[in-house]
Structure 1
Amino acid sequence: MTDPEPAAGTAGTPVGDEQAAARQDAAWAGNAREELAAADEGYARRFDADADIDRLLAERAAAVDLVVQAAWQRCIPPEAELALFAVGGYGRGELYPQSDIDLLVMAAPRDSATHAESLARFFAILWDSGLPVGHAVRSLEQCTEAAIEDITVLTALLEARPLAANEHERRELQGAVSPRLVWPPQQFFEAKRAELHERHARFDDTADNLEPNLKEGPGGLRDVQTLNWMALRIIGTADMESLVAFGQLGADEVATLERERRALARLRYGLHLVAGKREERLRFDYQKLLAARLGFQDSGNTLAVEQMMQGFYRNAALVLRIGERLLQRFEEQLEGEAEPQPLDDLFELRRGYLAARDPEWPRNPSEILSLFSTWAARGELSGLHSHTARALAEALPRFPDYANAEPALQVQFLGLLRGLQPVRTLTRMARLGVLGRWIPAFLKVSGRMQFDLFHVYTVDQHTLAVLKNIASFASPSSAERFALAHQVWPRLRKPELLLLAGLFHDIAKGRGGDHSDLGARDARMFCDTLGMSEADASLVEWLVRRHLLMSMTAQKQDIADPDVIHRFATEVADRDRLDHLYLLTCADIAGTSPKLWNAWKDRLLADLYTATRLALRRGLEHPLAADERSQETQAAVRGTLESHGLEASEVDALFARMPAVGFQRGRADQLAWQAVSLRDLPVGASRVRVRPVAAHAGALEVFVHAPDADGLFAAIVATLDRAGLAIQQARVLDGPSGTIFDTFEVIPSDPRRAPVPEDVEQRLEQVLAGPLDDIRPPRRTLPRHLRHFRIPPRIGFDQADGGRTTLSLVCTDRPGLLADVAQALRAQRLRVHDARIATFGERAEDVFQITATDDAGRNGPLDEAHQQALSDALLACIEGENK
């Protein structure tokens, strides 16, 4: 770093006026800023040329050292008894493009007060140079006190590196934070381990987040740094290779940990470059940019961004796996080995951890599977002993896949599925890498993400979540989320078949082609190879091939239509398939995203299951006709009403005010509730009723009865939107005498704000009582995360029964979309007669039955000109051109 000219007022420079000194400092800082910018441009070019990441980090730190040291010499008199240290990551000699420059000035209080102006000038000139400096000025005693009060201060000081300090001062600082004075090894280890667990909990204890934090998240760089700090405090060295000599790590573990750390460091360096600011979270805004900068390219079946993210998830998984072992070894180092407790010929307990007794374990693949059966039989343990975990990792290359395994090993695996805690066993096998060796296709989807908002987990983590949901069905508590699952579960003749279907249902993601068909082939090959019966293998194969059938039918078709139920029942064919498919579908949807499963989907699937079970019991050769369905429903509703004291004549009067088609499509309990709502209501009056959906907090069913009017549907939808309610389904029926019978299934847009039914009723009643033209959807900005998932809009028209037109709309979902679409329909003078609303992550798939009103007031299908006008209006609405 060059110094253009001495500044007035500094040591060794002539005294001049303050303005001249300020100008000279500004010139110096400007020069420093330019030199640093030029250096950073060079580092960026070298990064893009795949230069060694550790060298880049070290050289950038060294370049900043020159600026900091030159500024120190410029501002601080040589005789000042002040010492300057780099601390934190900068002290470690690792400096990312947007990292803070953490400095410590060590000085006695009297000396820091004497040179306060010089220090202020020093820090100011560094800021003017473009360096994001964070600093502390402390005496040795204050360093000790701060470290005692805050362990993060201690970790920063542990890596202090002298910039303007002598060896004596360095040793003094080390002594001020030595284990003799602050945080002895045992306390340090316990505190940092607790800190690590708390930090992981903030990220849901998984590295497989859609927008992972490269620094703080599970398996991120902070985990590696924490292991280094623990090693320094407990062993006395932060050099991972030195831990091999101390018996804490194997050479292979050190090599793996270093490889993953370097991969994470490269991701973080690149993230700072593409973000242009200090950013540790790999947001959607930067993922594609970073993947391109790192040289990833789209392949036939996998996007470049998905390749990059899969690499990250695998990096993080290995850091977590090795970190868990090292934490355990540090614990043993501090507390000593406990007396082993033998369990059987192969295994024992050591300090609550399951361990192999034989130093040469495993001698064959069977002993590896025996490990998991013993683990399952022992219930809750602290985990797998680190030495056994390492031996297992070293043995993985010799563990066969199922196709090349001995028959006895195949039988042993099936025993795990049929034994105790099979889902927990499969999860452990996946986490330790065994499942990926046994089923190579599972290894291919491990860490595989899909660049959308529908799948918030990697494929392997989603699969494990599905299996966990399946296991939960055995508990009565599952009824809180799944209406019928606990009742259906005992009907399964072999629960392991459902587990296999869950294991294989997404295993072919990313190969190209239909993943359901490809996965079904894999499942069939697996079942046949393991010698399963034809009936069992066929069931698993069918479940994998048709695992989307029930969800698509429930969410995209009218399950109140007897023809829909008959077609679905014909495809399912028997009740055994139906039971398995229902449970798999519930587990699959709920395991895709924490936000995806809701009361509406639960009830849809339960209704479809119940209706299909009845159809199968009746016999597929006797499909239920619409008239028969209507008569059955009317009889059920009449029975409910009369049981509540209504006379037959009153029931007849209420039925006469209700749309006949409602009895073909509605549920008996719903229609009875609506009928009661009409009691004592004068003809031509309006009524709104809202009720919670049983056992599902926040979900509501909204019933609106009113005289029909132009824009009524749009006004209702806009009001529900303003009330913070997301419409999941809408049933819009025309009643006698020009009335409407609209039913909406809604859930809160923000789960933290459960709506009050009475408040929703009041808001809608106010709308019905006033001018509808005043009701408009609220203006909203598009959420950040949706900007990166733009789906080309698709608008289609088909003729429907009854002289209606079916409008289908597929586009990117966003808050207020349905309200805006309803407003567009209103502007085109169209009436909505039915609506099915489906959202899959960022993808909205909505279907409406609509008619156009001609000059004579008659309703009919849309002609081509009207379809084109509506299509143009909807495209403008979707793209926000009308906002």
Structure 2
Amino acid sequence: MLPAGSLLDTPASSVPDAEWAAAARQALQQADARLHRRFDQGDRIERLLALRARAADHLIRLAWQRCMPAGQALSLFAVGGYGRGELFPHSDIDVLVLGETSAQHAAEAGLSRLFALLWDCGLPVSHAVRSLQQCRDAAADQTVLTALIEARPLVAAEGARRALRQTIDDGALWPPRAFFLAKLDELRTRHARFGDTADNLEPDLKDGPGGLRDLNTLGWMALRAFGVSELEALVGLGHLGADEAVALQRERGVLAGLRYGLHLVAGRPEERLRFDYQKTLAARLGFEDDVESLGVEKMMQGFYRAASVVRRISDRLLQRFEEQFDGEAVPEPLTVGFSLRRGYLAANDADWPRGDIGEVFALFSSWANNSQVRGLHSLTARALAEALPQLPDYQHAWPHTRQQFLSLLRQPRPVDTLSRMARLGVLGQWIPAFAQVSGRMQFDLFHVYTVDQHTMMVLRNMGEFSSSKAAERFSIAHEVWPRLRKPELLLLAGLFHDIAKGRGGDHSELGAVDAREFCQTLEMSLADTDLVAWLVEQHLRMSVTAQKQDISDPAVIHRFATLVASRERLDYLYLLTCADIAGTSPKLWNAWKDRLLADLYFATRRALREGLEPPLPAAERVIEAREYVRQLVREQGYDDATINRQFAVMPDEGFIRLRPEQLAWQAGALVPVRQGHTLVKVRPISPDDPALEVFVHSPDRDGLFAAIVMTLDRKGYGIHRARVLDGPSDTIFDTFEVNPADSFADGDPLRLEAALREALSGDLSRLRPSRRAIPRQLRHFRFAPRIEFRDEAGDAAGTRFSLVAPDRPGLLADVAHVLRNQRLRVHDARIATFGERAEDTFVITDEHDLPLDETARQQLQDAMLSCLDPDRNTGDTH
């Protein structure tokens, strides 16, 4: 790979080190350029890694000859990944200098010169200088032994090679079983650090679950236990199937190719597939966009599928290693055809499952009904993997096996069963459409899991609903679940709700077609089929209604109740919606969304109970709400005279828009407040959630909304919802629901109250939005903001101003600042954020409480776009 007979071969006395290093650097760059071209042309990644290691070998040997005196008693070995004979573009190069202490001291000057010269050449060399005894002592740490067991001689006599090998192979130094257990614990700890899933938005190709480190770990275990340097050699020993070896080799190529390309596009030793590089790498690897998927999504699906296969086979191989060390236990009969072997579920028949999907379902049934099973036996798991391609899908299976599948959903822990079926590839074989979304990601910040992993998270949430113990984060789900006529119908809706992602078109409608076909093929009743298909088609409707519409508006509730049409559908849809939102991202579900959906659920249930009659007139609704709130305020110890006096200064609209419990809290807080004074109250929304409710009552003045929003932003709080109501005598009654959005937001209600009181006590015009950097991830999802205006009718006359824009810290504060500068008044606000996308709606008027005319709309739009999209004037539309 490096040119021979050049300046590099010139004796040290003829050429200065600096000149030699420059020539070596140039030669190495030329060799890398050739390798990188071959990579872009699709050459085998294993060959490229080996050639790059050989180039480094040659250069290091030349540098050794140049710097080390002849006859010295030191040897040089490649260790670690470099010792395996593979080298990625920006990987470290680990070497060991081996020799007795006296030889080390004698060669100090030469070694210093050597390593300085190698760094000057562009080789990032990390080195250790040890004697044999020092190697033995250091290898008490299994990570050091791991680096040494792959030691490869670069400059070493046969005696030194043999001596190092004997030291490493000494059975008293990390016996194979102890080494296996140490590496197994290391692997599990590493997986836990990454959330034990490869299905995240920016996976680590090297250290993440299912990554290259997992394959290396298996190799180290095999080398220590069986003395084989390649996993393929385990086939002959009976520990690895030929098909498994082929699969591991194939996926190693996928992962190594991604890592090689990532190093190239990053220009440094980057191991995490960050958004900064994903699109560039996908383009370099030849992945193109089409109507169904972005090229980057195709690339990431390839990674997720490769990582899944690595994990699946790794689990089986680790179990076989464990059996090798601990021995095979006597089978314990469990159910017909199955037994327990050391706690693992095994098929008794050596030829199981004979292409019979019914036998596979029997396996999962036995698993579900025996809680002592710790997993699937490796030989049975291997037999299942080999049989998968021959197993029929639901359309071609016998009728009795279709009923077996449905019975699995009615047995104990059906969610665990579906998760196991998905992990082992059975679910994708049974429902081919599910296999299509396996590993499928969406290039955004909203969906942090692949579609199949998200589906499993949704089902897991449903499993929480069914638990006898109420889950704290779902306030009423455990009450709704027992009313389900057939819980398995909810599981089927969860299984199919996103199954049509990536096909183009509306995935809800396409998924409903799939769900209906599945239910009909399994000969489910027409009522059950209709319900599952309807749930899949409408699975987003409740979330959209709750987060984007005003559910205090009777017309909104009436429309939603008309769509739902029955209490049964409402129960199922409510649970599906909660499970779906909470399964989209660990950070997406909170007390605010829990309460919001519960409010919509109860309001809709009431509308259904009352027969979908036209909503009560506003005046009657106010009277009804006041009487309910009166009872709550009485419980605080106030008499009717005090309550009537308080109600007189509260806006009627609040009794329509706010929950009775909120109104009772506000009324009690306002009793001691003198007219013309400002009140700020903050309280937790839920004891187990950081969300806070903020209530501000004050004499009205322009810029008040902006001042509150900017203060909340400066204190690190994100606003989820805002109710901005005008009270009698030019007062305001503003309610905000907020969450800590930054690390410096401590969630202390009293401190937030004090900060707001101080901000509102002076000149509001002095307040400005804080300036903060846009997080790295958000920079990759920019798009042009979109603005719409619509006049509101009725009592809430004003202009509805809708904004869709890339989210970023301080966005709402900037929006409020623009509204203040345009001298506009905010009467209502709905704040929603979906990953990198903010969708906010405001009801605004001019200074005279009139809707905006065309001139005012245009001025607001221009000012808003200048604030939110400063590049638009440069022609950059992102």
TM-score tier, shorter chain, comes to over 0.9
C-alpha distance in 2 between matches for 1:500 and 1:750: 38
Q: Residue type matched to 1:687 in 2?
A: L
* CA displacement at 1:630 relative to structure 2: 1.4
* CA displacement at 1:774 relative to structure 2: 1.8
- Aligned residue among 632, 640, 644 for 2:636: 644
- Aligned residue among 691, 707, 722 for 2:714: 722
Q: Equivalent residue for 1:215?
A: 206
Q: Equivalent residue for 2:876?
A: none
Q: Secondary structure at the match of 2:336?
A: coil
C-alpha distance in 1 between matches for 2:647 and 2:422: 58
Q: Secondary structure at the match of 1:737?
A: coil
C-alpha distance in 2 between matches for 1:436 and 1:621: 46
Instruction: Summarize deviations over 1:658-685 as a string: whole Å, max 9, x none.
Output: 1111111111111111111111211111
Instruction: Summarize deviations over 1:559-593 as a string: whole Å, max 9, x none.
Output: 11111111111110010000000000000000000
C-alpha distance in 2 between matches for 1:876 and 1:380: 63
- Aligned residue among 821, 827, 838 for 1:833: 827
Q: Residue type matched to 2:710 in 1?
A: A
Aligned length: 867
C-alpha distance in 1 between matches for 2:746 and 2:397: 54
C-alpha distance in 1 between matches for 2:10 and 2:438: 60
* CA displacement at 1:182 relative to structure 2: 1.3
C-alpha distance in 1 between matches for 2:125 and 2:277: 25
Instruction: Summarize deviations over 1:718-777 as a string: whole Å, max 9, x none.
Output: 111111111000000111111111000001114795411000100011111111122112
C-alpha distance in 2 between matches for 1:419 and 1:273: 51
Q: Equivalent residue for 2:853?
A: 863
C-alpha distance in 1 between matches for 2:267 and 2:152: 27
Instruction: Summarize deviations over 1:145-180 as a string: whole Å, max 9, x none.
Output: 1111x2111111111111110222111111112242
* CA displacement at 1:881 relative to structure 2: 6.7
Normalised TM-score (structure 2): 0.97
Q: Equivalent residue for 1:813?
A: 807
Say whether 1:259 aligns with 2:250.
yes
Q: Equivalent residue for 1:92?
A: 84
Do 2:344 and 2:376's aligned partners in 1 also have CA atoms closer than 8 Å?
Answer: yes
Normalised TM-score (structure 1): 0.97
- Aligned residue among 428, 440, 448 for 1:436: 428
Q: Residue type matched to 1:235 in 2?
A: F
Q: Equivalent residue for 2:179?
A: 188
- Aligned residue among 306, 317, 323 for 1:326: 317
Q: Equivalent residue for 2:657?
A: 665
Instruction: Summarize deviations over 1:773-819 as a string: whole Å, max 9, x none.
Output: 22112111110000111132110000013431100000111111000
Instruction: Summarize deviations over 1:132-156 as a string: whole Å, max 9, x none.
Output: 11110010111111111x2111111
C-alpha distance in 1 between matches for 2:284 and 2:5: 33
Q: Secondary structure at the match of 1:838?
A: strand
Say whether 1:347 aligns with 2:338.
yes
* CA displacement at 1:4 relative to structure 2: 3.3
* CA displacement at 1:876 relative to structure 2: 1.6
Q: Secondary structure at the match of 2:695?
A: strand
C-alpha distance in 1 between matches for 2:119 and 2:511: 58
Give identity over the alignment, percent. Answer: 62
* CA displacement at 1:622 relative to structure 2: 4.6
C-alpha distance in 2 between matches for 1:467 and 1:479: 15
- Aligned residue among 442, 450, 453 for 1:458: 450
Kindly tell me: are residues 127 and 531 of structure 1, through their superposed partners in 2, closer, same or farther at Cα, counting changes over 3 Å? same
* CA displacement at 1:695 relative to structure 2: 3.3
C-alpha distance in 1 between matches for 2:280 and 2:103: 49
C-alpha distance in 2 between matches for 1:473 and 1:818: 35
Q: Equivalent residue for 1:169?
A: 160
Kindly tell me: are residues 216 and 691 of structure 1, through their superposed partners in 2, closer, same or farther at Cα, counting changes over 3 Å? same
Do 2:500 and 2:508's aligned partners in 1 also have CA atoms closer than 8 Å?
Answer: yes
Q: Residue type matched to 2:631 in 1?
A: G
Q: Which moved more, 1:637-646 or 1:99-108?
A: 637-646
Q: Secondary structure at the match of 2:770?
A: coil
Kindly tell me: are residues 752 and 603 of structure 1, through their superposed partners in 2, closer, same or farther at Cα, counting changes over 3 Å? farther
- Aligned residue among 798, 815, 829 for 1:804: 798
- Aligned residue among 267, 277, 290 for 2:268: 277
Q: Equivalent residue for 1:710?
A: 702
* CA displacement at 1:255 relative to structure 2: 0.5
Q: Equivalent residue for 2:865?
A: 875
* CA displacement at 1:3 relative to structure 2: 6.4
Q: Equivalent residue for 2:529?
A: 537
Q: Residue type matched to 2:58 in 1?
A: L
Q: Equivalent residue for 1:29?
A: 21
Q: Secondary structure at the match of 2:70?
A: coil
C-alpha distance in 2 between matches for 1:601 and 1:532: 34
Q: Equivalent residue for 1:17?
A: none
C-alpha distance in 1 between matches for 2:582 and 2:425: 25
- Aligned residue among 389, 409, 413 for 2:401: 409
- 1:68-79 to structure 2, matched below 5 A, reads 68-79=60-71
Do 2:625 and 2:655's aligned partners in 1 also have CA atoms closer than 8 Å?
Answer: yes
C-alpha distance in 2 between matches for 1:731 and 1:2: 80
Q: Secondary structure at the match of 1:743?
A: strand
C-alpha distance in 2 between matches for 1:203 and 1:572: 41
Q: Equivalent residue for 1:848?
A: 842
* CA displacement at 1:420 relative to structure 2: 1.3
- Aligned residue among 413, 422, 429 for 1:421: 413
Do 2:8 and 2:62's aligned partners in 1 also have CA atoms closer than 8 Å?
Answer: no
Instruction: Summarize deviations over 1:67-94 as a string: whole Å, max 9, x none.
Output: 1011000000011101001111111111
Q: Residue type matched to 1:873 in 2?
A: A
Do 1:3 and 1:28's aligned partners in 2 also have CA atoms closer than 8 Å?
Answer: no
Q: Residue type matched to 2:587 in 1?
A: K
Q: Residue type matched to 1:473 in 2?
A: F
C-alpha distance in 2 between matches for 1:713 and 1:179: 74
Say whether 1:823 aligns with 2:817.
yes
C-alpha distance in 1 between matches for 2:858 and 2:721: 26
Q: Residue type matched to 2:834 in 1?
A: F
Do 1:697 and 1:754's aligned partners in 2 also have CA atoms closer than 8 Å?
Answer: no
Kindly tell me: are residues 141 and 2 of structure 1, through their superposed partners in 2, closer, same or farther at Cα, counting changes over 3 Å? farther
Do 1:372 and 1:425's aligned partners in 2 also have CA atoms closer than 8 Å?
Answer: yes
Do 1:144 and 1:181's aligned partners in 2 also have CA atoms closer than 8 Å?
Answer: no
Q: Secondary structure at the match of 1:518?
A: helix
C-alpha distance in 1 between matches for 2:321 and 2:680: 65
Instruction: Summarize deviations over 1:247-277 as a string: whole Å, max 9, x none.
Output: 0111111111101111111111000001000
Residue segments in structure 1 that go unaligned for 5+ positions in a row: 15-20
* CA displacement at 1:5 relative to structure 2: 8.3
Kindly tell me: are residues 866 and 752 of structure 1, through their superposed partners in 2, closer, same or farther at Cα, counting changes over 3 Å? closer
C-alpha distance in 1 between matches for 2:410 and 2:395: 20
Q: Residue type matched to 2:853 in 1?
A: D
- Aligned residue among 587, 601, 619 for 1:609: 601
Do 1:830 and 1:852's aligned partners in 2 also have CA atoms closer than 8 Å?
Answer: yes
Say whether 1:677 aligns with 2:669.
yes
Q: Secondary structure at the match of 1:670?
A: helix
Do 1:724 and 1:748's aligned partners in 2 also have CA atoms closer than 8 Å?
Answer: yes
C-alpha distance in 2 between matches for 1:826 and 1:5: 70
Kindly tell me: are residues 676 and 344 of structure 1, through their superposed partners in 2, closer, same or farther at Cα, counting changes over 3 Å? closer
Q: Secondary structure at the match of 2:791?
A: strand
* CA displacement at 1:476 relative to structure 2: 4.8
Q: Equivalent residue for 1:398?
A: 390
C-alpha distance in 2 between matches for 1:868 and 1:622: 38
C-alpha distance in 2 between matches for 1:344 and 1:600: 47
C-alpha distance in 2 between matches for 1:776 and 1:177: 66
Q: Which moved more, 1:771-780 or 1:91-100?
A: 771-780
C-alpha distance in 2 between matches for 1:769 and 1:810: 33
Q: Equivalent residue for 2:541?
A: 549
Do 1:698 and 1:754's aligned partners in 2 also have CA atoms closer than 8 Å?
Answer: no
Q: Equivalent residue for 2:115?
A: 123
Q: Equivalent residue for 1:782?
A: 774
Do 1:302 and 1:510's aligned partners in 2 also have CA atoms closer than 8 Å?
Answer: yes
Residue segments in structure 2 that go unaligned for 5+ positions in a row: 873-878
- 1:734-745 to structure 2, matched below 5 A, reads 734-745=726-737
